[in-house]
């Protein structure tokens, strides 16, 4: 296989951190090459160098035999590099055609026609006139792929393309990618999901702490052996547990709620019971009411009093403080800006939800607050272990461990958490899952809302799917297959 793109000893240093250290990588013609690594391993810096967004400090790149060093995204596109971003790349207030036009260097005369043609050719259904903000996650990704394909790239870079897709949507994506490979296109594929990499990718390069930790042929490896290369150490998976349902702690009936987000779904007649010692997993593709459900349960959004019963007491119309005093705690998805204030220290952030025990007639007891923050740091191995650090300087995984720990050490009776391990590296994710299971073992009820099916299959006792703001009936997790869940995720309000 001839090499299309060769990276040779690329190094990029930021103040205080070496993002990439002498990284070499080779993508062949017509190859799907996987780039693997934990958060902060240097994948996105590497990709940004290929796309001309970041200049390397040293090292060289060669594209099709010629030296390659793009000065900007336009130069990279001209050279034949296309990029499908994970975040930050669609404009909600613009329509599909405008979004596509923005990613191209010259707007072709009949753009809407070209979009329709390429989307039918590759089975990527799209309407050029719809607003991007109205699209589902899968459709948004199609916009990005179509935008990329219209420029006929030789190499397409995809950053975690399946993280927001339902299983069926992901399968459709894989078909498209295989077809593109058959037509001779090369793809650099970044993902956390080892299983799909084993099925899809020809070769894989693994990054660990900015360096190449190994190159392998995924089909010849097991998921465990690849995971070992990614993490570098053995990680402890939560042990299996025996679930014996206790009394009902939280009862939700006929919960309906409009969304604050003009593009968000409304909750419709959501109902479930949560027992002592139970981990209830709520699956669903992002944007199907997860944030709304968390807001309704935490008390940020008020509903009918009787829609939410905490140990028999109606709390649907009460705010978060009232519910927290009764043992109902919640942790939202967005770490910075929702769960934590980025410019405040960890101690101050601990105070924000844990203040009830840490004040004396309204005056903050700083000594107690600092010890509380230290206790969380110690118990959950948060690094660096300094309670005076601002939340924004913490890595995603460490901040998430701190935020989950902050709630767990307040001994909730019911704990609701949204995307507990989103964007968190494998070791931290395992620690968080273990902590959630321990909480349930100690008699609390835990609701885990997550996009990550593997995670839910692993830790939840019972299981329901949120689709289009409606919750499926709760069922036992054992005995449910990923295919069943995929069908439920499509829901009555199909998002694909």
Smallest gap from residue 103 Cβ to other proteins (A):
5
Q: With respect to other proteins, which residue has the nearer C-beta, 44 or 400?
A: 44
Report the SS3 class of residue 93: coil
CB-based burial label for 483 (10 Å; 0-12, 13-18, 19+):
exposed
DSSP 220: G
Q: With respect to other proteins, which residue has the nearer C-beta, 54 or 118?
A: 54
How far are the Cα atoms of 263, 297, 307 from residue 135, in angstroms, in the given order?
9, 26, 30
The candidate with the shortest Cα–Cα distance to 282, out of 494, 489, 427, 8, is 489
Q: With respect to other proteins, which residue has the nearer C-beta, 258 or 443?
A: 258
Q: With respect to other proteins, which residue has the nearer C-beta, 22 or 131?
A: 131
Cβ-proximal residues to 45 (8 Å cutoff; 6+ apart), any chain = 12, 19, 20, 54
Query: Is 8 in contact with 54 (CB distance < 8 Å)?
Result: no
Taken in order 95, 100, 105, 106, the sign of the CA dihedral is negative
- Extract long-range pairs of 294-298: CB within 8 Å, 24+ residues apart: 294/330, 294/332, 294/333, 294/416, 294/418, 294/449, 295/257, 295/260, 295/332, 296/255, 296/257, 296/267, 296/270, 297/250, 297/252, 297/328, 297/330, 297/416, 297/447, 298/323, 298/328, 298/330, 298/332, 298/416
Query: Whose structure tokens read 């062949």?
Result: 28
Distance CA 107, CA 267 (A): 40
Q: With respect to other proteins, which residue has the nearer C-beta, 18 or 375?
A: 18
Helix (H) or strand (E) holding 147: helix 137-149
Smallest gap from residue 67 Cβ to other proteins (A):
21
Q: With respect to other proteins, which residue has the nearer C-beta, 90 or 294?
A: 90
Instruction: Find the helix packing angle between 167-182 and 137-149, rounded to 10°.
Output: 10
Output the six-digit token pair for 153. Answer: 């790239």
- Interface residue list for other proteins (CB under 8 A): 52-55, 72-74, 77, 85, 88-94, 98, 101-103, 107, 131, 133-134, 258, 262-263
Query: Is 299 in contact with 284 (CB distance < 8 Å)?
Result: no
Query: Is 475 in contact with 462 (CB distance < 8 Å)?
Result: yes
Q: With respect to other proteins, which residue has the nearer C-beta, 22 or 111?
A: 111
Query: Is 40 in contact with 208 (CB distance < 8 Å)?
Result: no
Q: With respect to other proteins, which residue has the nearer C-beta, 106 or 182?
A: 106
Smallest gap from residue 259 Cβ to other proteins (A):
9
Q: With respect to other proteins, which residue has the nearer C-beta, 53 or 368?
A: 53
Q: With respect to other proteins, which residue has the nearer C-beta, 93 or 182?
A: 93
Output the six-digit token pair for 150. Answer: 């219209």
Smallest gap from residue 91 Cβ to other proteins (A):
4
Q: With respect to other proteins, which residue has the nearer C-beta, 133 or 228?
A: 133
Smallest gap from residue 76 Cβ to other proteins (A):
8
The candidate with the shortest Cα–Cα distance to 426, out of 463, 466, 449, 458, is 458
Query: Is 19 in contact with 45 (CB distance < 8 Å)?
Result: yes
Length of the chain: 496
Q: With respect to other proteins, which residue has the nearer C-beta, 291 or 460?
A: 291
Query: Is 166 in contact with 490 (CB distance < 8 Å)?
Result: yes
Q: With respect to other proteins, which residue has the nearer C-beta, 54 or 375?
A: 54
Smallest gap from residue 108 Cβ to other proteins (A):
12
Query: Is 314 in contact with 302 (CB distance < 8 Å)?
Result: no
């Amino acid at each position: 296989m001839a090499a299309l793109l060769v990276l040779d000893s690329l190094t990029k240093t930021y103040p205080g951190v070496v993002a990439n250290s002498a990284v070499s990588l080779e993508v062949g013609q017509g190859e799907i090459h996987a780039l693997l690594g934990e958060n902060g391993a240097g994948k996105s810096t590497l990709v940004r160098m290929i796309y001309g967004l970041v200049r390397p400090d040293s090292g060289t790149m060669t594209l099709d035999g010629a030296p390659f060093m793009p000065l900007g995204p336009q130069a990279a596109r001209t050279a034949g590099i296309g990029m499908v971003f994970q975040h930050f790349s669609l404009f909600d207030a613009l329509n599909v055609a405008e979004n596509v036009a923005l990613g191209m260097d010259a707007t072709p005369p009949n753009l809407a026609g070209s979009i329709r043609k390429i989307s039918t050719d590759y089975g990527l259904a799209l309407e050029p006139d719809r607003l991007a903000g109205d699209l589902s996650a899968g459709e948004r990704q199609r916009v990005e792929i179509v935008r990329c394909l219209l420029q006929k790239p030789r190499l397409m870079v995809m950053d975690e393309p399946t993280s927001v897709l339902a299983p069926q949507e992901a399968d459709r994506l894989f078909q498209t990618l295989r077809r593109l490979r058959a037509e001779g296109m090369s793809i650099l594929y970044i993902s956390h999901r080892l299983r799909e990499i084993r099925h899809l990718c020809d070769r894989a390069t693994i990054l660990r702490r900015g360096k190449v930790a190994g190159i392998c042929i995924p089909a010849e490896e097991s998921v465990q052996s690849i995971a070992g290369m990614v993490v570098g150490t053995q990680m402890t998976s939560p042990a299996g547990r025996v679930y014996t349902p206790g009394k009902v702690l939280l009862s939700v009936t006929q919960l309906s709620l409009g969304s604050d987000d003009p593009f968000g779904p409304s909750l419709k007649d959501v109902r479930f019971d949560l027992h002592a010692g139970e981990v209830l997993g709520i699956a669903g593709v992002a944007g199907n009411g997860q944030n709304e459900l968390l807001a309704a349960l935490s008390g940020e959004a008020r509903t009918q009093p009787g829609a939410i019963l905490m140990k028999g007491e109606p709390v649907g119309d009460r705010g978060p403080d009232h519910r927290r005093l009764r043992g109902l705690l919640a942790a939202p998805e967005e770490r910075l800006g929702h769960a934590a204030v980025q410019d405040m220290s960890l101690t101050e952030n601990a105070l924000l939800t844990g203040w009830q025990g840490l004040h004396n007639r309204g005056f903050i007891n700083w000594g107690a607050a600092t010890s509380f923050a230290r206790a969380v740091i110690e118990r959950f191995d948060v690094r660096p272990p300094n309670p005076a650090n601002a939340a924004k300087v913490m890595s995603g995984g460490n901040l998430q461990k701190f935020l989950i720990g902050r709630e767990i050490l307040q001994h909730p009776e019911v704990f609701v958490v949204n995307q507990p391990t989103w964007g968190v590296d494998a070791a931290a994710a395992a620690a968080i899952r273990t902590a959630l299971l321990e909480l349930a073992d100690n008699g609390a009820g835990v609701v885990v809302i997550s996009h990550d099916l593997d995670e839910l299959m692993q830790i939840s006792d019972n299981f329901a799917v949120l689709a289009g703001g409606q919750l499926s009936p709760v069922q036992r997790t054992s005995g449910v297959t990923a295919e069943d869940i995929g069908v439920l995720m499509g829901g009555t309000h199909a998002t694909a």
